Amino acid sequence: MKKFKIDRIISIATLVASLVAIFLVLKRPAPVARPQAPAAIAEHAQSFDQKMAEFQQETQQSSSSGTSQTSTSDAGQAASSSPKAEVHINSDEISAVLAQSLGTAGGASGLTPDSNIGSAPTIKDQQVSFDGDLVHGQFLTEIAGKDVWVTVAGHIGEKDGYATFEPTEFKVGDLSVPVSLVNPALQKKLAEQRDRLKLPDNVGAMKVENGELVMQQK
């Protein structure tokens, strides 16, 4: 009789734990960034394009100036000591570009896990923010027929001309998942998408620093 009671308690506890896990998975977590109005998205996306155009121009001018210099030691020292061009992108600008690329600039930031999206793409909504040297991303996707928010945080970097990402946090809904369980599959997926991670030829380094994405001339 005692064993029966213990088994019954374990069964109930397991059921409750499963229900809590399902609730946490379907629950929308606290947002990592504030939503942007369509007008703000257009403005920030334009700012992103302008910054990247200026960065491209600066790197081209620097390259032209370097090739035109003489081969004397003084000229070489001047070239090596000149600062490399940099571009600083904030999270609003990144989010705006992502929103436009996903087609969510018209107001999809108000979606909830219960929203009926129909035949939308795999990533249905997104938020991105920078904090110190970390990037935080939050994405609405479909898992087992349910709309679920996936939250990830980590370090962005560069290796051999390709972008890298090392996660420090991973959540499905409001349920935290150990990074050690997720990272192998994530790195495998990134390796499969390696061509999409190639940085522009004029970018030599990339990182998040002081709450901004910083790209430096090669």
Residue 195 DSSP one-character state: G
Give the pLDDT of residue 107: 43
Question: pLDDT, tens digit, for every residue of 33-85?
Answer: 888 899 999 999 999 999 999 999 988 887 676 555 544 445 455 445 567 88
- Using the predicted structure, report yes or no on whether residue 9 has a pLDDT greater than 80: no
Q: The whole model's pTM is what?
A: 0.73
Tell me what percent of the residues of the chain surpass a pLDDT of 90.
35
The answer to whether residue 106 scores a pLDDT higher than 50 is no
Report the SS3 class of residue 129.
strand
Which residues sit opposite 205 in a β-bridge?
A: 216
> pLDDT category, 115, cuts 50, 70, 90?
very low
pLDDT at 5 over 70: no
d(CA 113, CA 101): 21
**Per-residue model confidence as pLDDT tens digits over 141-168:** 887 788 889 999 999 999 998 999 999 9
Query: With bands split at pLDDT 50, 70 and 90, how would you rate the model's confidence at 108?
Result: very low
**pLDDT number for residue 156:** 93
Band of pLDDT at residue 101, cut at 50, 70 and 90: confident
Q: What is the pLDDT of residue 216?
A: 92
